[in-house]
């Protein structure tokens, strides 16, 4: 598809973020399994639920524009998921607390990709007056920010402190 209008870009980026969210969902499930800190496990479980809600929202919006949700494959998230494997899932750790600190790092990198994607989509939706889309995407953006802040709270609260000991 030629990207000739902002609407074309919008749909392309909806599909790209849909792909990104699907990839990060699987990675987050694996991070949850690897985590040992109870607050971190809870936050990752909440992350899985939030990412799934984002996927569901994106699917509805994409289909409302007569497009295929699977129309794009996000190579950016593919790279971030490879980093999750390299730095957490396939890495050797002598300490579970250190692994938990690395889990937060990798999760937040994926989250920040989502923040950028949702932020752009909100702006794109507002421009042509797609208020309903913009509101739904803003909710996803707000939820993603909330998850990111929770990870920072956990990291700066106990996880990083325990990993240093």
pLDDT in tens, 106-161: 999 999 999 999 999 999 999 989 999 999 999 999 999 999 999 999 999 988 88
pLDDT of residue 1: 63
The average pLDDT across 98-111 equals 97
Question: What is the percent of the chain with per-residue pLDDT over 90, rounded to a whole number?
Answer: 92
Q: Given its phi and psi angles, is residue 129 left (phi above 0), alpha (psi -120 to 50 degrees) or beta?
A: left
CA distance 56 to 84: 24
Write the DSSP symbol of residue 127. Answer: T
The CATH number of residue 89's host domain is 1.20.1260.10
Establish if 5 belongs to a structural domain: no
Establish if 13 belongs to a structural domain: no
Q: Which helix (H) or strand (E) segment is 162 a member of?
A: helix 160-164
Establish if 82 belongs to a structural domain: yes
The average pLDDT across 12-24 equals 98
Q: Which two tokens stand for residue 61?
A: 């919006």
pLDDT of residue 161: 87
Establish if 6 belongs to a structural domain: no
Report in angstroms the alpha-carbon separations of 155 from 29, 101, 112, 159. Answer: 19, 7, 16, 5
Number of domains in the chain: 1
pLDDT of residue 92: 95
Establish if 26 belongs to a structural domain: yes
Burial string for 99-128 (b: 16+ CB within 10 Å, else e) reads bbbbbbbbbbebbebbbebbebbbebbeee
Establish if 124 belongs to a structural domain: yes
Residue 90 belongs to domain spanning: 22-65+74-164
Establish if 15 belongs to a structural domain: no
- Per residue in 61-80, pLDDT tens? 999 999 999 999 999 999 99
Establish if 2 belongs to a structural domain: no
């Amino acid at each position: 598809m030629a990207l000739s209008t902002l609407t074309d870009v919008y749909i392309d980026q909806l599909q790209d973020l849909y792909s990104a969210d699907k990839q990060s969902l699987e990675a987050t499930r694996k991070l949850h399994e690897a985590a040992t800190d109870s607050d971190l496990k809870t936050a990752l479980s909440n992350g899985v639920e939030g990412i799934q809600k984002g996927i569901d929202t994106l699917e509805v919006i994409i289909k409302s524009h007569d497009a295929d949700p699977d129309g794009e494959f996000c190579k950016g998230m593919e790279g971030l998921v490879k980093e999750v494997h390299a730095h957490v899932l396939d890495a050797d750790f002598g300490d579970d607390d250190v692994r938990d600190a690395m889990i937060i790092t990798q999760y937040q990198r994926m989250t920040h990709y989502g923040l950028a994607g949702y932020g752009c989509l909100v702006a794109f939706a507002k421009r042509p007056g797609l208020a309903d889309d913009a509101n739904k995407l803003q909710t996803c953006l707000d939820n993603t920010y909330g998850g990111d802040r929770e990870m920072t709270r956990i990291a700066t609260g106990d996880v990083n402190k325990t990993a240093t000991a």
